[in-house]
Every structure is written in structure tokens, then in C-alpha cells.
């Protein structure tokens, strides 16, 4: 048949109908989005998601066994529906990756004031277009896999089943499992034991595990110097502010037209002031601040200016070096390199575990993954409070299983190599046409 003369919706259906259907699902999702807003995943928490997942699989099986000869069903298990559905979903995923994402229950006043917020795309994974597109792809995956079972089986089919079933499991587990995802925050002070955590609604929950914070430590980068406007405090140059990180006593640098020489450095110092006198003394104590003694000069200045610059702490104010009426040298707060929580964990089953929790180095205990989330930044490096994020995702194993099946399927197909029986490929391609 000459496909160029075929009209839309004239059998057999092809890619044009595939994009129309996939696009129509997105449009239907947008209409639901504008009417109902984002989907609330908590409404589908266990056992509701289990029941819906089982009904979905049963429905696919029923369609396969009782309507497998239907033209629409056969088209849904063909390449002409598969590729458009993947393309549309990829476009939505690109949007997800580009736009900042927020929790589904974020108040509207906290969302960016743009058209994408109205479409729900700042919470893409709970938007109707995204969920419906995922479900549409799941239907295609399921029917395609089931249809393959009616053909003569060979060893090469192992790769096909691993790929398709793996993607099906990963996608289905991610969709219905999001309702059971829990994210809690827990604040613990050094020397204290805590077993309560707060959810997104600000409600406290008692857990089956407890965390004792033995020690909390913060490592900072070396202090930096910047040049600011004396009157406004604005960093200079205005178009691209410059800074200098301490590299050693005796070093010289150029900042915003000033020549700055490092004369001395105290990593821990205390400032003593009265009405006429100020002095910086090295002292290792709670609340001590970093201090740099610098000498500054600029073209046209008769005599250089020297003095101490500090970044202050929760106990001590910061100190500036005033060069002239226009320029001053300041030290911004030091950037944190790493912060670590040395903890002891206790569970109801009697497990006791000592561990160190850091950023990007979480700890898994029972069904919980504990992340280093934050600390009391008002105290800076002297903080004795650590904030943890506790995440429980019972469906994560299902998703990981699907991903591993995908990887195994890809490896199997790579090892097995391409098919040699071209006639069989041609027959398969012919059978995919409705």
C-alpha cells in the first residue's frame, strides 16, 4: 500500500496516529491539571496503590487474552505507538530537568509566578500530563511484552523480556510507589538522643529508631578577602566581584585596584575593644573568629594602611579595614568544606550502631536512609546541632530491580549480537503493522 496517499486514521495506523494519540493524552492531562490541580500522591498510599497496581496488571492480561486480535490492541503493541509515546515522555522529562521542581503541596505563593506553575510543571512528577503519559507507555510496554509471548520463543528473547519487563517494573514502581515515599527531618543536639522526626506538614512522628549525636564537626575553607564600598557594603568590582583566598603569610594580591599584602594570620582569635583601642589576640575558645592582618595601598596613596580583618562569629562582630572614604577590606563568612555527624543509632530490635554521616555519604538502617541535611547555621562552625533527613521508600527495591533487568538485557543483547535471520525480522515488522 502507498502510505503517502493514506489519510489520517485510515488503516493501517502509523506514526502520525501515534503522535496524535500521545499528544491527545497530554492535552487531556492538561485539561485535568487546570481543573483539578496536581495529583496528591498521599491519596494513593498503601494499600490503595497495591490494589490499583494489581488491577492495572490484571486489566492488561484481560486485554491480551480476550482482545488480542483487536486492531487497536495490536497497534498499541507496535512500533508505531511505542516511539511517539517515548518521544512525548522524553519531552516532558526535558521540561522536568529544565524547570525548578517543588513538592506537590507547595503553596502557590512560593512557586515561580509563571505559566508553567499553572500547568503544574514545577511539580512535574505529580502533574496529570506526566502521569497519564507514563501510564500510556506502561500499557504499550505491557501489551508488547505479552504479544511477544505468542511467538515462537528462542534464547534471544531473553534480552527482549529483560529490557521490556525491567522498564515496566521501574516505571510502575516509580509511579505507584511515590505514594509510600516518606521524607522526614530530625534535629539532634550533641549529647542528646532523638527518636522523633517532623514531616512536611510540621507534625512530629515517633520512629522505630533513635539517633544520638555524639559529635558534630565542620571543616571550612581558608578565609577570603574582598574589597567593598565603604558606604554601601557592595563587593567590588560591581560587575564581577573578586575575592582572594588566603594562601600564606607574605603573599600579595591585587583586588579592585588595591595591592594587599598578608602580614599575619590567626585561625582562632578574639577581638578586644574599648572606646579608643582595639586588639586581636590569638585564642582558641568557643566563638573565636578567623583574623588576617593585611597591608593595603593603591595608586596615589601616600602611606599604606594596615590592620586586622575578621569575619566574626555568633559571639564576636566582624572587623573591616577602612582604606579610605570609598574602599574597605572585608572578610566574608568562610565557606563550609565538609560537615560530619558522629552518631550512635538504636533500633527497636536492639541494634546499636556507631557511624559517621556526611553529605553524599548517607547511612542505611532497616528501611530508612539517613542523610546529612543541615545544621544550625546561626552558630556557624560552632554549631552543636545536626539536622538529618530520613527517607523511606519501600518501592525502591522494585525500581532497582527493573533498572538491573534493563542493564542485564542490554548486556545480553550486546553479547548475543544481531539476528541472522533477516526473513524473521521482516515477518515481525509486517506483523507490527495493523
The predicted-structure confidence for 251-288, as pLDDT tens digits, reads as follows: 999 999 999 999 999 999 998 876 556 788 999 899 99
The DSSP letter of residue 232 is T
- The C-alpha cell that represents 383 in the structure block: 554549631
pLDDT at residue 275 in the model: 56
| pLDDT tens per residue, range 195-214 | 999 998 889 999 999 999 99
pLDDT at 79 over 50: yes
| pLDDT tens per residue, range 350-376 | 899 999 999 999 999 988 999 999 999
Shortest CA distance to 359 belongs to which of 384, 396, 388? 388
Confidence bin at 418 (pLDDT 50/70/90): low
| Mean pLDDT lowest among 50-54, 106-110, 142-146, 411-415 | 106-110
pLDDT at 345 over 60: yes
pLDDT at residue 373 in the model: 95
| 229 SS3 class | strand
Confidence bin at 424 (pLDDT 50/70/90): very low
pLDDT at residue 429 in the model: 42
| pLDDT tens per residue, range 104-114 | 888 888 889 88
> Is the pTM here over 0.85, yes or no?
no
Across 220-240, b (16+ Cβ under 10 Å) vs e yields beebbbbbbebeeeebbeeee
Cα angle at 175 between 171 and 176, to 5 degrees?
120
Shortest CA distance to 300 belongs to which of 323, 321, 322? 323
Range 280-298 average pLDDT:
93
Confidence bin at 7 (pLDDT 50/70/90): confident
Range 311-340 average pLDDT:
93
Shortest CA distance to 122 belongs to which of 132, 109, 140? 109
Confidence bin at 422 (pLDDT 50/70/90): very low
Cα angle at 60 between 55 and 62, to 5 degrees?
90
Confidence bin at 229 (pLDDT 50/70/90): very high
pLDDT at residue 366 in the model: 84
pLDDT at residue 297 in the model: 94
pLDDT at 428 over 50: no
Q: How far, in Å, CA of 55 to CA of 143, rounded? A: 15
Range 87-99 average pLDDT:
95
- The C-alpha cell that represents 414 in the structure block: 550486546
pLDDT at residue 433 in the model: 42
Range 316-341 average pLDDT:
93
pLDDT at 407 over 50: yes
pLDDT at residue 415 in the model: 87
Please provide the average confidence, as pLDDT, over all residues in the chain.
90
| pLDDT tens per residue, range 154-173 | 888 999 999 999 999 999 99
Beta bridge partners of 187: 387
pLDDT at residue 12 in the model: 85
pLDDT at residue 215 in the model: 97
| Mean pLDDT lowest among 61-65, 106-110, 290-294 | 106-110
Range 136-160 average pLDDT:
92
Domains of the chain and any CATH numbers: 3-177+396-431 (no CATH), 182-219+337-392 (2.60.98.10), 222-334 (no CATH)
- The C-alpha cell that represents 173 in the structure block: 514502581
Q: How far, in Å, CA of 315 to CA of 311, rounded? A: 11
Amino acid at each position: 500500500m502507498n502510505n503517502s496517499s493514506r489519510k489520517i486514521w485510515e488503516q493501517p495506523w502509523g506514526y502520525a496516529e501515534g503522535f496524535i494519540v500521545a499528544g491527545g493524552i497530554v492535552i487531556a492531562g492538561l485539561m485535568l491539571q487546570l481543573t483539578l490541580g496536581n495529583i496528591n500522591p498521599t491519596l494513593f498510599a498503601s494499600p490503595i496503590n497495591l490494589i490499583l497496581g494489581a488491577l492495572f496488571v490484571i486489566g492488561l492480561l484481560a486485554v491480551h487474552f480476550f482482545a488480542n486480535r483487536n486492531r487497536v490492541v495490536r497497534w498499541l503493541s507496535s512500533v508505531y505507538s511505542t516511539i511517539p509515546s517515548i518521544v512525548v515522555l522524553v519531552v516532558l522529562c526535558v521540561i522536568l530537568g529544565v524547570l525548578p521542581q517543588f513538592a506537590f503541596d507547595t503553596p502557590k505563593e512560593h512557586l515561580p509566578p509563571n505559566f508553567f506553575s499553572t500547568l503544574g510543571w514545577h511539580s512535574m512528577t505529580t502533574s496529570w500530563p506526566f502521569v497519564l503519559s507514563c501510564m500510556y507507555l506502561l500499557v504499550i510496554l505491557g501489551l508488547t511484552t505479552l504479544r511477544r509471548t505468542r511467538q515462537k520463543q528462542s534464547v534471544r528473547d531473553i534480552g527482549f523480556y529483560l529490557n521490556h519487563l525491567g522498564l515496566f517494573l521501574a516505571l510502575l514502581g516509580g509511579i505507584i510507589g511515590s505514594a509510600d515515599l516518606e521524607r522526614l527531618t530530625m534535629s539532634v543536639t550533641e549529647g542528646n538522643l532523638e527518636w522523633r522526626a517532623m514531616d512536611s506538614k510540621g507534625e512530629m512522628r515517633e520512629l522505630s529508631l533513635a539517633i544520638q549525636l555524639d559529635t558534630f564537626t565542620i571543616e571550612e575553607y581558608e578565609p577570603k578577602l574582598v574589597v567593598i564600598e565603604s558606604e554601601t557594603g557592595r563587593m567590588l568590582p560591581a560587575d564581577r566581584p573578586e575575592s582572594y583566598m588566603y594562601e600564606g603569610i607574605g603573599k600579595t594580591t591585587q583586588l579592585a585596584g588595591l595591592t594587599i599584602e598578608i602580614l599575619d594570620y590567626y585561625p582562632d582569635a578574639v577581638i578586644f575593644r574599648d572606646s579608643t583601642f582595639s586588639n586581636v589576640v590569638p585564642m582558641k575558645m568557643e566563638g573565636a573568629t578567623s583574623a588576617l592582618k593585611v597591608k593595603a595601598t593603591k595608586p596615589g596613596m601616600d602611606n599604606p594602611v594596615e590592620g586586622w580583618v575578621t569575619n566574626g562569629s555568633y559571639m564576636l562582630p566582624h572587623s573591616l579595614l577602612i582604606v579610605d572614604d570609598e574602599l574597605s577590606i572585608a572578610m566574608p563568612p568562610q565557606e563550609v568544606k565538609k560537615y560530619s555527624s558522629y552518631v550512635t543509632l538504636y533500633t527497636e530490635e536492639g541494634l546499636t550502631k556507631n557511624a559517621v554521616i556526611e553529605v553524599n555519604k548517607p547511612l542505611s538502617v532497616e528501611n530508612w536512609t539517613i542523610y546529612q541535611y543541615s545544621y544550625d547555621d546561626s552558630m556557624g562552625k560552632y554549631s552543636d546541632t545536626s539536622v538529618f533527613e530520613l527517607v523511606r521508600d519501600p518501592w525502591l527495591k522494585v525500581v532497582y530491580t527493573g533498572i538491573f533487568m534493563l542493564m542485564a538485557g542490554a548486556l545480553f543483547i550486546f553479547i548475543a549480537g544481531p539476528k541472522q535471520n533477516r526473513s524473521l525480522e521482516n515477518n515481525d515488522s509486517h506483523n507490527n503493522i495493523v
